Structure 1
Amino acid sequence: MKIVIIADTHMPDKGKQLPSRLKKELETTNLIIHAGDWNSMEVHHMLRTYAEVKGVYGNVDSKDIKEHFPAQEILEVHGHKIGVIHGHGDKKTTEKRALEVFEGEEVDIIIFGHSHIPLLRYFKKKLLVNPGSPTDKRKLPYYSFAILTVGEEIRAEHVFFRDKS
């Protein structure tokens, strides 16, 4: 199963449309996970034309997004438990806040956003994935999102690109 992971789209503020590089991967995905800071429900409407969309709300999301999506979620995909959280809060790093939310939960993968900084690493047998942002790279050289392939094996990778049009 192919899962496209995105976060921090901040649309329409940081883009009026989904980047073409992202849309290329969305055409062949089975599931889309958004880790918050959608900024508008229009992002959800665009994404759901490609595949089923799961996600959480972030710190800049409006009331309508918060009514549609939870603050955190645990999904089960092919026997793997995936925790999803935006990661905002006080003190600590975004990564530490995400880990803390799922402490005591038997999750295999933790997906989070908020920092806009792509991350892919293991911590105590949990795969941590921050896809970065496909529309707001901040001071980084590239926009990004992640692809997670889940089956008997798990494969995760980032896609980095320069042009968000």
Structure 2
Amino acid sequence: MEILVLSDTHMPKKAKQLPKRFIKELKDVDALIHAGDWQTLELYEMLKDYAPVFGVYGNVDGEDIQDKFPAKQTLEWKGYQIGIVHGHGDKKTTEKRVLEAFQEDPPDVLIYGHSHIPVLRYFKKTLLFNPGSLTDKRRSPMYSFGRLTLTEDGIHAEHIFFR
């Protein structure tokens, strides 16, 4: 199963359309996961034509997005649990808030956003995956999104960086 992972798109404030590099990857995906800060539902409307879209809302998302997506969720595909949360809140680091959100039942993969900083590493047995941002790289040298591949043999996650 091939999944594209994105977060913190802030569209249309940070971009009016999806980057060409991202669109190129949409051809053969089974699902899309957005880890919040969509800004408007227009992005969901664009993405759903490519594959089923799953996600959560972030701290800048209004009621329309909060009505469509939960604050956190867990998906199960190919026998793997995938947790999704944006990661915003008070005090602590984004990563600590994300881990605390799933401390009762840690998933195999924990997808989050908020910081706009690409992360791919393990914490105990959970793969932490922040795709960065397609449209608002902040202090990062490049824009980014993620690809998650789930097979019977395991999980493969990678960032796709572009200018």
Give the TM bin, normalised by the shorter chain.
Answer: over 0.9
TM-score w.r.t. the length of structure 1 is 0.97
Q: Which amino acid aligns with 1:100?
A: E
The alignment of Structure 1 onto Structure 2 pairs a total of residues equal to 162
Post-superposition offset of 1:151: 1.1
1:106 shift after superposition: 4.0
Aligned to 2:155: 154
1:133 aligns with 2:133: yes
Q: Distance in 2 between matches of 1:58 and 1:27?
A: 26
**1:97-116: CA deviations, max 9, x gaps?**
00000002141110000000
Q: CA RMSD in A?
A: 0.6
CA contact (8 A) 2:134 2:143 kept: yes
Cα deviation 1:4-52 (Å, max 9, x = unaligned): 0000000000000000101111111100000000000000001101100
Q: Which residue of 1 aligns with 2:92?
A: 92
Whether 1:51 aligns to 2:51 is yes
Identity rate, percent: 60
Counterpart contact for 2:106–2:126, Cα < 8 Å: no
The 3-state SS of whatever aligns with 1:120 is strand
1:11 matched residue in structure 2: 11
| CA deviation after TM superposition for structure 1 residue 124, in Å | 0.9
Unaligned runs of 5+ in 2: none
Alignment gaps of 5+ in structure 1:
none
1:19-38 correspondence runs (5 A): 19-38=19-38
Task: Using structure 2 for the length normalisation, give the TM-score.
Answer: 0.98
Q: Where does structure 1 differ by over 2 angstroms across 4 or more consecutive aligned residues?
A: none
CA distance in 1, matches of 2:4, 2:122: 19
Alignment partners' CA distance in 2, 1:140 and 1:120: 15
